Amino acid sequence: MNATTKTTLSDELIGRCGSRAAAYDRDNRFFTEDFEELRAAGYLKMAVPEHLGGPGMTLAGICREQRRLAYRAPATALATNMHLYWTGVAADMRRAGDKSLEWILAEAAAGEIFAAGHGEAGNDLPLFLSTAKAERVDGGYRFWGHKTFGSLTPVWTRLGLHAMDASNPSAPQIIHAFLPRDAKGYSIKETWDTLGMRATRSDDTILDGAFVPDRYIARRLPAGTADLFVLSIFGWAEPTFANIYLGLAERARDLAAAGVKKRTSLALTRSMAYHPEIQRCFSEMQLALEAATAQVDRVADDWSNQVDHGMAWPMKLVAAKHNAVGGRQEGRRSRDVRLGRHGHVQVERARAALSRRPVRRVSSGELDPGPRDRRQDGARDRSRRAAAVGMIRTHTV
């Protein structure tokens, strides 16, 4: 079995994570039990090379594991991803002959937990520019700024961050560093309360002169530029995040498929699975998932096999993530067929939010398509329904 096809998590462990997901979100607490089980299973060391005690899995293999975990516990997978992509970046740079970040792999093997501190309000070019400030001092740098989306806040021991050193206004630099947990000059602001993702505990980090020694400075780059380090961050983050979205979409599809078989209508002699509109929704879900999955898998495989796409790599990475998010949006169509009986634990909040949206009356003429539109829709729907019937019959939870 090669590094691409290895598996780390058993179906039973993933099932236990899934059984706790709703409670984590309802109680707005970190996924402590999941985290400890994942750590014990070696999940946090997947990218660590064999000579340091890990399995040396590639991006493609880790993506598949993340999709499996996200299928049942998406918030757990999302937060864990921050640690995984840092170790993956270090591993790929080592494979490329750059051992400047091998210390990340050694520390990860020893149990250190890496997180990402790139989020900044008002910065649309993370990693390339920064609203945070870096200042050179004896033995390292001091940092000031407000970082958001700090997933893994309760457990990280190394926070990857970046900030602008503008001491030379004509040649500003972006300083990429890893803040040790025991450093002074920073504080945690508990701000996180995001429906469905509460377990990630992505709280804010306030930097107020936090000192990072030189040994934890990863890069000093001219502002607005990238090297292998920066590209590798995108190379790992985009496909792994994409697989989390795909896992979430697959779960939504399968729950909807199982639920719709149990629903009936006075207008039908069989279950709602045979309703033409339900079949259309399922077919569109599956069409989107098929396309997005193929693209995301191909990008991850190409990255793992060091395929030379040259300057097309940024486009390919972003496109894969973008289309995977689109597949997740299609997955939301499952609400149309399962909200009444199988809705999310926060359905009442969703209904309350929707009830506050302004509405207007719609005339029957606005809803009635013209003859040409009806013919086109009929042809499309017949092919979609044919695909949907087979899918609904075969999918189970």
Window from 20-24, 86-90, 163-167, 367-371 with minimum mean pLDDT: 367-371
Position 327 scores a pLDDT of 52
What's the mean per-residue pLDDT of the chain? Answer: 87
Query: Worst-scoring range by mean pLDDT, 161-170, 173-182, 348-357?
Result: 348-357
Q: How many Å apart are CA 90 and CA 235, to the nearest integer?
A: 12
pLDDT at 347: 44
Write out pLDDT tens, residues 174-226: 999 999 999 999 999 999 999 999 999 999 999 999 999 999 999 999 999 99
CATH class of 228-355+366-394: mainly alpha
CA-to-CA distance for 188 and 186, rounded, in angstroms?
7
Evaluate whether 37 touches 20 at the Cβ level (below 8 Å). Answer: no
The CATH code of the domain at 115-222 is 2.40.110.10
Q: Which CATH architecture has domain 11-112?
A: Orthogonal Bundle (1.10)
Fold agreement (115-222, 228-355+366-394): no
Is it the case that residue 101 has pLDDT exceeding 90? Answer: yes
Quick: pLDDT tens for 311-338: 999 999 999 999 998 755 554 555 544 4
HEC secondary structure over the chain: CCCCCCCCCCHHHHHHHHHHHHHHHHHCCCCHHHHHHHHHCCHHHCCCCHHHCCCCCCHHHHHHHHHHHHHHCHHHHHHHHHHHHHHHHHHHHHHCCCCCCHHHHHHHHCCCCEEEECECCCCCCECCECCCEEEEECCEEEEEEEEEEECCCCCCCEEEEEEEECCCCCCCEEEEEEEECCCCCEEEECCCCCCCCHHHCCEEEEEEEEEEEHHHEEEEEECCCCCHHHHHHHHHHHHHHHHHHHHHHHHHHHHHHHHHCCCCCCCCCCCHHHCHHHHHHHHHHHHHHHHHHHHHHHHHHHHHCCCCCHHHHHHHHHHHHHHHHHHHHHHHHHHHHHHHHHCCCCHHHHHHHHHCCCCCCCCHHHHCCCHHHHHHHHHHHHHHHHHHHHHHHHCCC
pLDDT band at 301 (very low <50, low <70, confident <90, very high): very high
Q: Domain spans of the chain? A: 11-112, 115-222, 228-355+366-394
Measured distance CA(211)–CA(294) in Å, rounded: 44
Q: Extract the tokens encoding 29.
A: 């607490």
Tens digit of pLDDT for each residue in 215-265? 999 999 999 999 999 999 999 999 999 999 999 999 999 999 999 999 998
Residue 355: pLDDT band (50, 70, 90) is: very low
pLDDT at residue 7 in the model: 79
* pLDDT for position 8: 87
Give pLDDT, residue 29: 97
Task: State pLDDT tens for residues 378-390.
Answer: 544 544 444 444 4
Q: What is the average per-residue pLDDT within 116-130?
A: 96
* Best CA proximity match to 80, nearest among 67, 96, 95: 67
Q: Is the pLDDT of residue 345 over 90?
A: no
Identity of the amino acid at 127: L
